[in-house]
Amino acid sequence: MERNKRLAQIFERMADILEFLGDNPFRIRTYRRVAKILENLPMDVGEAIESGYIYKIKGIGGSTLAKIEEFLKTGTVQKYEEFRKKVPEELLELMEVPGIGPKTLKVAYEKLGVRTKENFIKALKDGSLAKLPGFGAKKVEKILKGLELWRQAQERIPLVVAYPLARNVVEYLKGAVGDYIERIEVAGSLRRMKETIRDFDILVSAPREHWQKIHDAFVSYPDIEDVQLHGQTKSTVLLKDHHRQCDLRTVEPESWGAALQYFTGSKHHNIKLREIAKERGLKINEYGVFDAETGERVAGRTEEEVYAVLGMQYIPPEIRENTGEIEAALEHRIPKLVGYDELRGDLHMHTNWSDGLNTVEEMVKACIDMGYEYMAISDHSQSARVANGLTPERFKLQREEIERVRKKYGDKISILWSVEVDILPDGSLDLPDELLREFDFVTASIHSRFNQDNTDRLLKAMENPYVNLIGHPFGRQYGYREGYPLDFDRVLEKALETGTALEINSQREDLDSQHIRQAVERGVKLVVNSDAHSVGQLWTTRIGVGLARRGWAKTEDILNAQPLEVIREFVAKKRERLKK
């Protein structure tokens, strides 16, 4: 699917450039629409053409199809290459920054002669941009903030973006040299399911005579920008996507466990582990665990035996951060964390009734394929206008469609009728209680006023007896938006008091693992959701489970790792308790 993303970016870029040049708004809108369609395509774009799927999509015309085919053949689009030459390179780069649109750059270009990034930043800082009509100090401050977020996002990318990139490399290696490989794993921060990732550390165990072939295959991976090191034990490449560095290390099978442990980290976890080994007269490194005096190998083939020989319970990778896990492992009190295969349903997804790409039926079929027992369709409510939110009247029509789909698939999956209702600025909800009570499950989220402290808004929403879940509680979107300030202690307290759960929104990584851990410690219930806007995004709950594990969550902490009856009871209990 990386191809889809790259092609979507090309269309988005063409739209930006045309907007910068002041071209026909109709053409600009068309390109943006095509970009959105491509990004949400449930299959690879090549497959979409072969199977004929793409011809059925509204909004893809002949000239768009020609560009797509051209991209599939050549890897780019000629028109795009032509457009690019009309705008200074550095201004193109700046268009990626949140808060800097082509319109802003056009003004800077025309009125201040800005041609480079440096020029632009200078114009921001010396006040010359702020003086122009339509700008002002506040807007300039916002742009500077956006630049900072963008810079961070260049250094580390979110797990949800990194994960498929790494998986693709692993799949490629398995296909190309799988016969020579005994074990393969992505180690480092990705294995720990850390929220953001700097680079990938792939580890392979294989008999030494095969190592060269494996490294040769690795440096021939098609989506590489640059080969930085092509060795026999270690190779390093730069991936095209997000310019990520990716290392490959090959080790002997007898060192697999020790190497995996070492390269999984975290660094602080490893340092602490080394101390403990030392106290026990052992030496630990990436080759194994050894008797410090005799040098005799005592462990190394598996990770389990590495921890066991140190007198510890096995520590799941997700919690290896030296934040108490080592002490807990020594006392054998690490709880059993919720498993990746334990989610029984997904309670947050959108359809083409609001801003999703797929129909209710398509989402349902995809959830059946995910192996879920239940699912919730949760489209936006009316005040989310940009997201095509539903009025009460449209919700009634949607309910009829859900009824129809239930008749067809009801024996395979339970379909909950849900809503992501907007929390209004005063903390009241965007739909009347008479309607809210009709839903099987209600998620309430904030989609406005991201710069103010929103604690009181959330608390008030939680007091509504029909609100079961707070969606993406911090309003974070990595690389785009820092979350709003929140007094999380008070949020947790209110969640407990009212019987409201908090969301682990997988795509936004909100809650993050630290907040998850706090919630778990307090006994607040959590729900791992995808917030999918197309069938292609349903897989992301895997990221959410990873974050939950990082937050030490157990099965009983996660509502949607429980049978449907538990969720029904959770809903009923709150209504009973807070009866109006």
Question: Among positive and negative, which fits the CA dihedral 154, 160, 164, 166?
Answer: positive
Shortest Cβ 567–Zn ion spacing (Å): 20
Instruction: CB nearer to ligand DGT: give 198 or 297.
Output: 198
Q: Closer to ligand DGT by CB, 71 or 262: give it.
A: 262
* Options 146, 188, 345, 427; binder of ligand DGT; rule CB under 6 A: 188
**Maximum Cα–Cα distance across the chain:** 79
**Minimum CB separation from ligand DGT for residue 163, in Å?**
12
Q: Which of Zn ion, Ca ion, ligand DGT, none does residue 477 bind to, with CB < 5 to 8 Å depending on kind? A: none
Q: Which residue is nearest to Ca ion (CB)?
A: 188
Choose the one of Ca ion, ligand DGT, Zn ion, none that binds residue 445, judging by a C-beta under 5 to 8 angstroms depending on kind: Zn ion
Using an 8 Å Cβ cutoff, are 169 and 190 in contact? no
Residue 403 in tokens: 């009824």
Q: Judged by CB under 5 A, which of 185, 199, 318, 325 binds Ca ion?
A: 199
Mark the segment that binds Zn ion (CB under 5 A) among 104-112, 187-195, 362-370, 438-446: 438-446
Query: Nearest Cα to 107, choosing from 84, 86, 128, 137?
Result: 128
CA 157 from chain centre, in angstroms, equals: 10
Instruction: Report the run of H or E that residue 89 belongs to, with start and end.
Output: helix 89-94
**Residue number with CB closer to ligand DGT (198 or 394):** 198
Q: Which is nearer to ligand DGT, 199 or 503 (CB)?
A: 199
**Residues 363 and 407: beta-carbon distance below 8 Å:** no
Pick from 214, 207, 203, 303: nearest CA to 247: 203
Q: Is 266 or 381 the residue whose CB approaches ligand DGT more closely?
A: 266
Contacts with 439 (C-beta within 8 Å, 6 or more apart), sequence order: 416, 417, 418, 419, 466
Q: Which of 66, 137, 229, 271 binds ligand DGT (CB under 6 A)?
A: 271
Tell me whether residue 247 or residue 422 sits nearer to Ca ion (CB atom).
247
CB 406 within 8 A of CB 361: no
> Which residues are paired to 226 by β-bridges?
238
Size of the site for ligand DGT (CB under 6 A): 13
CB of 161 to ligand DGT, least distance (A): 13
Angle at which helices 2-21 and 159-177 cross, to 10°? 130
DSSP symbol at 483 = P
Nearer to ligand DGT, 128 or 322 (CB): 322
Q: Which stretch binds ligand DGT (CB under 6 A): 5-13, 139-147, 263-271, 343-351?
A: 263-271
Interactions with ligand DGT, residue window 189-208 (CB under 6 A)? 189, 197-199, 201
Judged by CB under 5 A, does residue 445 bind Zn ion?
Answer: yes
CB 259 within 8 A of CB 206: no
Nearest to 337 by CA among 464, 520, 496: 520
Minimum Å distance from CB 263 to Ca ion?
Answer: 8
Instruction: Reduce the DSSP state of residue 533 to 3 states and report it.
Output: coil
Q: How far is the CB of 323 from Ca ion (least distance, A)?
A: 19
Residue 188 interacts with Ca ion (CB under 5 A): yes or no: yes
Total chain residues near Zn ion (CB under 5 A): 1
* For ligand DGT, the closer CB: 100 or 197: 197
Query: Residue 217 in contact with residue 177, Cβ under 8 Å?
Result: yes
- Judged by beta carbon, residue 189 or residue 505, the one nearer Ca ion is 189
What is the C-alpha to C-alpha distance for residues 467 and 462, in angstroms, rounded to an integer? 6
Helices 541-550, 513-522: axis angle to 10 degrees equals: 60
- Beta carbons of 348 and 529 less than 8 angstroms apart: yes
The entry of ligand DGT, Zn ion, Ca ion, none that residue 20 binds, CB within 5 to 8 Å by partner kind: none
State the DSSP code for 114: -
Stretch that binds ligand DGT, among 37-45, 258-266, 398-406, 547-555 (CB under 6 A): 258-266
Q: Which residues bind Ca ion (CB under 5 A)?
A: 188-189, 199, 201
Q: Which residues bind Zn ion (CB under 5 A)?
A: 445
Q: Which residues bind ligand DGT (CB under 6 A)?
A: 188-189, 197-199, 201, 262-263, 265-267, 270-271
